[in-house]
Amino acid sequence: MVIAIDALTRQVSLDDLPIDLSRKEFDLLLALAQRAGEVVTKRELLADVWRQTYGGGDRTVDVHLSWLRRKLGETAAAPRYLHSVRGVGVRLAAPDSELGVH
């Protein structure tokens, strides 16, 4: 499975099949893709995606991650791309370089 993200057209595909993402889901995925392999804290995601520089919205990030996982065909218990790092944040890691950002 290969996930491709086109930042200019705001389109995402999984194995050449388009994935319909909401604006925030796309922004969240792009923010993680721009830092692929790094652990990104929920606070950093709130600042980057929601423009909130203070805490209090961790649950918002969790909910959007859940929706994004579902659309990518994975779960938190069986992640393929979105890996939770307990007590720290989340990391976008594609198995065997299956991630393309344009």
pLDDT string in tens for the chain (102-residue length): 688 999 999 999 998 999 999 999 999 999 999 999 999 999 999 999 998 877 667 788 999 999 999 999 999 899 989 999 998 899 998 665 556 665
- Beta strand 11-14 with 3-6 is antiparallel
CA–CA gap between residue 33 and residue 17 (Å, rounded): 18
d(CA 101, CA 97): 11
Q: Which two tokens stand for residue 61?
A: 């990030």
What does the pLDDT read at residue 65?
Answer: 95
- Which CATH architecture describes the domain 3-101? Orthogonal Bundle (1.10)
pLDDT value for 68: 96
Contact predicate 92/99, CB 8 Å: yes
